[in-house]
Structure 1
């Protein structure tokens, strides 16, 4: 083992540690690894950013743009409406999901397709009268499986294709994975139809007040004649700044109205507030307020009050590429920015209701918000948040839908016929999306998940360093020694399991970058088909079912479905085992050993 091998493996171990500890976002961790490699001379800037190294990030970027153009015209929403009309019984509903997000994920990147299909899933749950947890996890898993139908379905397959080209085996054809990909989608769909996704943690009939357990956090207080608030406005009283409190509604002379900051308060006014019991008692003593008894509060629905007239309540999801991630509600002035109040935050199993202004937001957080219904229109058009209700088709460029569909089909056909490289076809489609008006120039940049692009670009130098330093050969030699008594099929299964484990610890892109060159070296040493080995590793890195953090759609449904971490282990674990048995056999049969 040379000094270069030791240094490269040490940097790879550092990357593993940083990914596990999650001190930094994954894309920033990738950049730390890239800079370290260059500072220590393991990779030169020219070698790390040569033409073949930047092709995968550029291809993924172009596919994000194409997907956003199709989604922005409402083409997916119309397909989803037809799906709702067709779905009937529960099994038929599950099958319908396989006919929508599954194939769509093969040609449309997951963020836009996920955001468009999500309201359909919620609507199906309401219509069928069963829990959202019944469909959200299957929907996520089917989306993951569908991404393997084509090379452009996931960033993982795009990256694997680029690495294959760098290793001298040429880039993947667009439909090279459709055989095992289609079989895996069918097997996964059958599994999810007959295996319950999860216990009904989030019942469809449960109200927001029950679901978020807000009885102790939404209260009514009366302004007494002795109160220091009499004659003041809410703004002047600085009540919301001095306490962990939000005033949601003001009842004046039995008339319900929004909490206007400049409204002068009078004795007898009733304030509906979001506030913990501890702060509520402090406010009562310091401001001369009277807390209405729980009996009176329980006689009516606070949710009905807040949803009456022009006011409304909704759940809002923090998206993966949101600019709000890492910021607190107070730092971003959330209430002033969106004209809604956050009542609670659901984060997987955790429910946050205290000190909301000081909680940094994360991807997948579910915010329960209250405010004027007109404000929800603004939230629907936000690139940072997703309102979990059906988007109004009138807000989309529906007249451009046929053009967007034709552009998308044109890209797929050109790439499938090998008339032009996939990158060129995708970039051409991206330009046509803007020129045709399906996507505005400003929306082009907003549609790209820059964290994914930076992560892809920054981890490619690690793969190059592994290859040039000899670390890939060293790892391959040791793996061959360990598995010399295994059959080719057994070795493929070992690689599949190893990739799956690394994907759960690191990320799917990091696992592919580290293991794909190793797998090719093993194939060359043992005289196996390199493409078969690459296919097994790529499928293993793309099929992440066991944790809510292994894939972005899993993270999205984690909080919204009210799942527990063990639900993913219980449902996703057996599915991973099924794929570990099926995919190596399929790849060996279709591509040869």
Structure 2
């Protein structure tokens, strides 16, 4: 092997490793590949960025805009209503009509957009017809995937396969070239799902038909019936006279107060300023086990002496004042979001804003220009802050100035962990003193040894002393919270919480959400959206415990409770797909004819060849905007730039594989294996290899990687390059067997209540059916030799 081949294969191996493991986002991997190839001189600088001007990329951008226009003008919603009229209440007809419609829309919409658009339609359809959502949502996603096999520009794998032929000096696929083979696969696949596939489905609501209302199913699905209890506050209880916020039931004990029974009336979704009264009965969403933190806090022994700073901190631990600069990226962020301890290696002790000083519950405060943070940490960490972006000034602050200017010592107190404490043997983070009570553990004393800034994983022992900065009265109040009465025999029904003003609603994180990776606490969910999160459905499991600190993921389904007036506002949020048509944004129906006209222009120009497909797509996209179907900003927002960067960044790798000779070397090795094999077996093996690859690598990136290798294999084995490339493209679209094979599959997992194994259970037989159809039809229209 030449050095050039070794270099390119090394970059290829690194890219595959990163894509399979998911250590980095796919678009970041693509950019790294592009830069690695350029730095290694495997391609010219112009070739490194040529992928972003590729015809496939331009076409994809145009199709994204067309998809958004059809959605905004209500055309796709109208098609959903048509499906219900045609399908009636029969499950066979519903599945067939739904999959056929999704497949037809794939001509001008990408699969993710189709699934996102039809999610609320299908959920409403399930409620009205009594068919469980799980029997409809997987057919919806698979219908979109099958429809993507029918035309050259229906999916990115088809476009990229055609482009690979063009760059190899061969005739690219025409507009309808995929239709005979892909269309046959789509028809047979839809038939299989309507007759047999749906019977293999399992998921939420499969045991019995879906009821006319979603409430019983939702509460059972999320396990809320088992997570309700009542707390009664007898006269003299420590909580009486406090507001809900001051009670710390939510922040400290992670209990959600869904309602208050008072004087024979139920007050639903009380706000945080509601004052608790004698004999209030609190309807709690949670489990009594969550009260166990109280037992741990009650046992802490508060000490009157030993809380002065001197003697606790060695010389290398100091304080500094950091002023937030105007225009800093820190502005608008909360300290919980920034996670100063993890990011900067310091504790934030206080925040000064003008003449006012805030010392407690700092994690939820949003930073403003001119804010001064008092931080504690090692002197080397404080020095690093001076060079960090976002600060206008960083000044080391003497301890006496801290004690006087911030009155810090008056807020210091010491607690000791007694023998037999539940906290002994547990890490410091599990005390939840900072998260729950807004306190900061500044130091830990064990015998004669004192450790400043102990880490969250520091294991506590009986006899340990903790130097804490915070309000000692808050800990005393919770230690005194023992007079409540737990009414275990009461089992409230969630139907009691539904009213004209309040109700449940289910949402799914959208493909373009900016909330993935962030916790509910960091984004201040309740304050931001006015709704409470009761549960999260993820990967086949209902999560209802410690939701505030659980990072959200794309595809998560969230069960929300709050004012019905907020439901339509959620429908307009780009971060969510609301699973109810009633909460959707009102479509621009008067612009629907213009949207349909723009799509027809695209189809006619592309089919006749009067304009190249990329130019036809851009023309139709511009017509969408000029025709008032979309605003310019909406058109930009409709484009999945992550997908664009993925394609543009990975295409240079295909160029490098071909130019370096790596593709030829790998192809020659493959030819040795298949030289005497039957062409049908070669095509079948290639199909299975590619479709299996979608379990680990996105289909778009997979085609870019496979294309040069498949072409070399075809040439070396004497097979038709067009037949081989069509096989690769169709297989890359056959992502039926895994929920991670395609983003559309991820979207339906939560609403459908699917588990991971549901996809191979249905998807593997469907993949074999599609493979058999391709093997039968492909040689008729594209001879293998």
Normalising to structure 1: TM-score of the pair?
Answer: 0.95
Q: How does 1:389-428 map to 2 (within 5 A)?
A: 389-391=580-582, 395-428=586-619
Partner of 1:116: 117
Partner of 1:235: 245
> What displacement does 1:66 show?
0.9
> What displacement does 1:292 show?
4.4
Q: Which moved more, 1:81-90 or 1:404-413?
A: 81-90
Deviations 1:90-116 (A, max 9, x none): 221122113311111222122332222
- Pair 1:529-2:723 in alignment: no
Q: How does 1:326-365 map to 2 (within 5 A)?
A: 326-365=517-556
Partner of 1:249: 259
Q: CA RMSD in A?
A: 2.0
- Pair 1:220-2:230 in alignment: yes
> What displacement does 1:379 show?
0.9
Gaps of 5+ in 1: none
Distance 1:210 1:257, change over 3 A: closer
On the 8 A contact 1:58/1:423 being kept in 2, the answer is: yes
Partner of 2:276: 265
Write the distance in 1 (CA, Å) between the matches of 2:583 and 2:554. 24
> What displacement does 1:226 show?
2.4
Write the distance in 1 (CA, Å) between the matches of 2:36 and 2:582. 45
Write the distance in 1 (CA, Å) between the matches of 2:740 and 2:142. 13
Deviations 1:190-210 (A, max 9, x none): 111222141354342453221
Write the distance in 1 (CA, Å) between the matches of 2:75 and 2:649. 34
Tell me the secondary structure at the aligned position of residue 181 of structure 1: helix
Distance 1:51 1:497, change over 3 A: closer
Q: Which moved more, 1:392-401 or 1:499-508?
A: 392-401
Tell me the secondary structure at the aligned position of residue 295 of structure 1: coil
Write the distance in 1 (CA, Å) between the matches of 2:52 and 2:507. 40
Tell me the secondary structure at the aligned position of residue 248 of structure 1: strand
Distance 1:291 1:38, change over 3 A: farther
> What displacement does 1:151 show?
1.9
- Pair 1:379-2:570 in alignment: yes
- Pair 1:280-2:471 in alignment: no
Write the distance in 2 (CA, Å) between the matches of 1:502 and 1:248. 46
Tell me the secondary structure at the aligned position of residue 17 of structure 1: helix
On the 8 A contact 1:233/1:261 being kept in 2, the answer is: yes
Q: How does 1:552-591 map to 2 (within 5 A)?
A: 552-591=743-782
Deviations 1:4-63 (A, max 9, x none): 212211221222221222222222222232222223222333112227853322221111
Write the distance in 2 (CA, Å) between the matches of 1:2 and 1:423. 37
> What displacement does 1:73 show?
0.6
> What displacement does 1:343 show?
0.8
- Pair 1:492-2:503 in alignment: no
Deviations 1:135-172 (A, max 9, x none): 21122111100112222221222222222222222443
> What displacement does 1:220 show?
2.5
Q: Which moved more, 1:580-589 or 1:58-67?
A: 580-589
- Pair 1:503-2:694 in alignment: yes
Write the distance in 1 (CA, Å) between the matches of 2:748 and 2:272. 36
On the 8 A contact 2:158/2:726 being kept in 1, the answer is: no
On the 8 A contact 2:205/2:217 being kept in 1, the answer is: no
Distance 1:321 1:171, change over 3 A: farther
Partner of 1:167: 168
Distance 1:18 1:521, change over 3 A: same
On the 8 A contact 1:326/1:361 being kept in 2, the answer is: yes
- Pair 1:296-2:490 in alignment: yes
Write the distance in 1 (CA, Å) between the matches of 2:508 and 2:619. 32
On the 8 A contact 2:99/2:139 being kept in 1, the answer is: no
Partner of 1:66: 66
Larger radius of gyration: 2
Write the distance in 1 (CA, Å) between the matches of 2:692 and 2:490. 54
> What displacement does 1:391 show?
4.4
Distance 1:347 1:393, change over 3 A: closer
Write the distance in 2 (CA, Å) between the matches of 1:400 and 1:270. 53
Distance 1:31 1:220, change over 3 A: farther
> What displacement does 1:371 show?
0.8
On the 8 A contact 1:109/1:153 being kept in 2, the answer is: yes
Write the distance in 2 (CA, Å) between the matches of 1:30 and 1:424. 25
Deviations 1:201-253 (A, max 9, x none): 43424532211112343333223322232222223444422232333333333
Partner of 2:423: none
Partner of 1:135: 136
Write the distance in 2 (CA, Å) between the matches of 1:268 and 1:52. 67
Tell me the secondary structure at the aligned position of residue 413 of structure 1: helix
Tell me the secondary structure at the aligned position of residue 592 of structure 1: coil
On the 8 A contact 1:223/1:288 being kept in 2, the answer is: no
Partner of 1:181: 182
> What displacement does 1:313 show?
0.5
On the 8 A contact 2:535/2:547 being kept in 1, the answer is: yes
Write the distance in 1 (CA, Å) between the matches of 2:506 and 2:483. 31
Tell me the secondary structure at the aligned position of residue 250 of structure 2: helix
> What displacement does 1:186 show?
0.8
Q: Find 1:514's aligned residue among 682, 705, 711.
A: 705
Tell me the secondary structure at the aligned position of residue 505 of structure 2: strand
Deviations 1:520-566 (A, max 9, x none): 22222333321111111100111111111101111112222222222
On the 8 A contact 2:257/2:283 being kept in 1, the answer is: yes
Write the distance in 2 (CA, Å) between the matches of 1:356 and 1:573. 34
Distance 1:526 1:207, change over 3 A: closer
Write the distance in 1 (CA, Å) between the matches of 2:168 and 2:249. 64
On the 8 A contact 1:216/1:277 being kept in 2, the answer is: no
Tell me the secondary structure at the aligned position of residue 273 of structure 1: strand
Partner of 2:504: 313
Write the distance in 2 (CA, Å) between the matches of 1:537 and 1:308. 54
On the 8 A contact 1:221/1:289 being kept in 2, the answer is: no
Deviations 1:241-282 (A, max 9, x none): 223233333333324233112222212223333334332354
Partner of 1:199: 202
> What displacement does 1:512 show?
0.6
Tell me the secondary structure at the aligned position of residue 499 of structure 1: helix
Write the distance in 2 (CA, Å) between the matches of 1:351 and 1:255. 27
> What displacement does 1:346 show?
0.6
On the 8 A contact 2:715/2:721 being kept in 1, the answer is: yes
Tell me the secondary structure at the aligned position of residue 229 of structure 2: strand
> What displacement does 1:424 show?
0.7
Partner of 2:48: 48
Distance 1:291 1:155, change over 3 A: farther
Write the distance in 2 (CA, Å) between the matches of 1:22 and 1:202. 32
Write the distance in 2 (CA, Å) between the matches of 1:392 and 1:332. 22
Normalising to structure 2: TM-score of the pair?
Answer: 0.72
On the 8 A contact 1:71/1:113 being kept in 2, the answer is: no
- Pair 1:441-2:650 in alignment: no
Partner of 1:86: 86
Write the distance in 1 (CA, Å) between the matches of 2:255 and 2:684. 55
Partner of 2:10: 10
